[in-house]
Amino acid sequence: MTTTPEIKDESFPTHPPLAGVLGWPIAHSRSPLVHGHWLDRYGLEGGYIPLPVHPDNLENVLKTLPKMGFVGVNVTIPHKEAALRLSDSLTDRAALIKAANTLIFREDGKIHADNTDGYGFLANLLQEAPDWRPDQGPAAVIGAGGAARAVVASLLESGVPELRITNRTRLRADQIRAEFGAKVVVYDWAQAGNMLEGAHTAINATSMGMTGKAPLPVPLDALAPETLVTDLVYTPLMTDFLKEAQQRGCMVVDGLGMLLHQAVPGFERWFGQRPEVDEELRQAVL
Ligand code: NAP
């Protein structure tokens, strides 16, 4: 019996998938640790690398990476808005948030943009506080930057009855009210403390409280022990905001889990395995 030799088309080599994270600077990013942990844990072939990309080079880099075997990338500061503009298609949530953090390089050469920050935010709270539900009462969001927009979009999509928001620069909070609709109620920055009264969920979505920055200047007197309190800042893990809320009897959830959960959809898409966020991963990243 004769067998036909297998013909390999050398013009289409199959490589293990590559992904990475683009930022400027990028050395601080924990995403390579997260994806590296999952690649090892599931014994998958492929790689995930940090890529320092100056804003002037972003467009060229995004055109080149797919030709080098990359199946997609995460994008972080300062590229989240530019990456959205440079993409060919986008999810509804990325359009609402006006920023991308996950790009998929499709086989037809097109770039598809998503934003998984809101997904990560909700998944973290649901994992750490299993009895909490977003629709059980008003949410109070402190901050109106890119991360706050993701939080607002995810809470509204999950049926939050009222979304209170405050920001040092009021205009950004007013813009969120104009774009996201009537459930959004804007509070003056000077009245931020009042916003916490009767809140079911309270969120710091500013960068205040980060190591090297001043603590959040919002009085917590109106915070009741029933309020679930969370902080997007995760360096330090226990911010002064979380510590004070805990002293008042509130359940608190740190921001590290959001970082871990937001990575899940990209990893699944690029490497074909839905990864788990568990204590082992938290410890590896810490
Ligand atoms: P951003 O777009 O630059 O927004 C920064 C926010 O912080 C704005 O609301 C800004 O108010 C406020 N702010 C900064 N300095 C302030 C000050 N001195 N006093 C009062 N408000 C101040 O940043 P972002 O992307 O939204 O990120 C916000 C934080 O979330 C960062 O710490 C980031 O690391 C964290 N984050 C965490 C995750 C996670 O996975 N855990 C994901 C995304 C972001 P103005 O508008 O008045 O400037």
| Whether 153 and 93 share a structural domain | no
Measured in residues, the chain has a length of 286
Positions marked active-site: 80
Structure tokens at 32: 């390579």
Query: Is residue 176 in contact with ligand 1, taking CB distance under 6 Å?
Result: no
Of all atoms in ligand 1, which is nearest to the CA of residue 210?
Answer: 32
204 CA to centre of ligand 1 in angstroms: 9
Number of separate domains in the chain: 2
| Whether 107 and 140 share a structural domain | no
> Whole domain around residue 154: which residue ranges?
118-258
Query: Is residue 146 in contact with ligand 1, taking CB distance under 6 Å?
Result: yes
| Whether 79 and 187 share a structural domain | no
Residue 234 lies in a domain: yes
Model-level pTM?
0.94
| Whether 166 and 232 share a structural domain | yes
Of all atoms in ligand 1, which is nearest to the CA of residue 168?
Answer: 47
CATH code assigned at 53: 3.40.50.10860
Q: Based on the number of CB atoms within 10 Å of its own CB, is 29 exposed (0-12), middle (13-18) or buried (19 or more)?
A: buried
Query: Is residue 259 in contact with ligand 1, taking CB distance under 6 Å?
Result: yes
Residue 222 lies in a domain: yes
For position 15, what pLDDT does the model report? 83
Residue 3 lies in a domain: no
Q: Which amino acid residue places its CA nearest to atom 44 of ligand 1?
A: 147
Partners of 193 in the beta sheet? Answer: none
Residue 175 lies in a domain: yes
| Whether 163 and 54 share a structural domain | no
| Whether 55 and 151 share a structural domain | no
144 CA to centre of ligand 1 in angstroms: 8
Partners of 229 in the beta sheet? Answer: 202, 252
Residue 63 lies in a domain: yes
| Whether 99 and 152 share a structural domain | no
Classify each residue of 173-206 as buried b or exposed e, where b means 16 or more C-beta atoms within 10 Å of its C-beta: bebbbeebeebbebbeeeebbebbeebbbbbbbb
For position 4, what pLDDT does the model report? 47
With beta carbons less than 8 A apart as the criterion, state whether 124 and 253 touch: yes
What whole-number distance in Å separates Cα of residue 185 and Cα of residue 77? 28
| Whether 130 and 170 share a structural domain | yes
| Whether 75 and 135 share a structural domain | no
Residue 2 lies in a domain: no
CATH code assigned at 183: 3.40.50.720
Pairing of strands 251-253, 18-23: unpaired
Residue 213 lies in a domain: yes
Query: Is residue 148 in contact with ligand 1, taking CB distance under 6 Å?
Result: yes
Please provide residue 82's backbone torsions phi and psi, each rounded to the nearest 5 degrees: -65, -40
Query: Is residue 199 in contact with ligand 1, taking CB distance under 6 Å?
Result: no
Choose which residue among 141, 152, 207 to substitute to test ligand 1 binding: the one with the highest number of ligand atoms within 8 A of its C-beta. 207
Query: How many other C-beta atoms are found inside a 10 Å radius of the C-beta of residue 12?
Result: 6
Query: Is residue 23 in contact with ligand 1, taking CB distance under 6 Å?
Result: no
Residue 12 lies in a domain: no
| Whether 132 and 231 share a structural domain | yes
147 CA to centre of ligand 1 in angstroms: 7
| Whether 138 and 192 share a structural domain | yes
| Whether 174 and 274 share a structural domain | no
pLDDT tens for the chain, 286 residues long, are 444 445 444 444 478 999 999 999 999 999 999 999 999 999 999 999 999 999 999 999 999 999 999 999 999 999 999 999 999 999 999 999 999 999 999 999 999 999 999 999 999 999 999 999 999 999 999 999 999 999 999 999 999 999 999 999 999 999 999 999 999 999 999 999 999 999 999 999 999 999 999 999 999 999 999 999 999 999 999 999 999 999 999 999 999 999 999 999 999 999 999 999 999 999 999 9
Structure tokens at 109: 């050469």
Name, in order, each residue with C-beta under 8 angstroms of 129's C-beta and a sequence gap of 6 or more.
Answer: 228, 251, 253
Q: Which amino acid residue places its CA nearest to atom 40 of ligand 1?
A: 259
For position 1, what pLDDT does the model report? 44
Of all atoms in ligand 1, which is nearest to the CA of residue 143?
Answer: 9
177 CA to centre of ligand 1 in angstroms: 18
For position 7, what pLDDT does the model report? 45
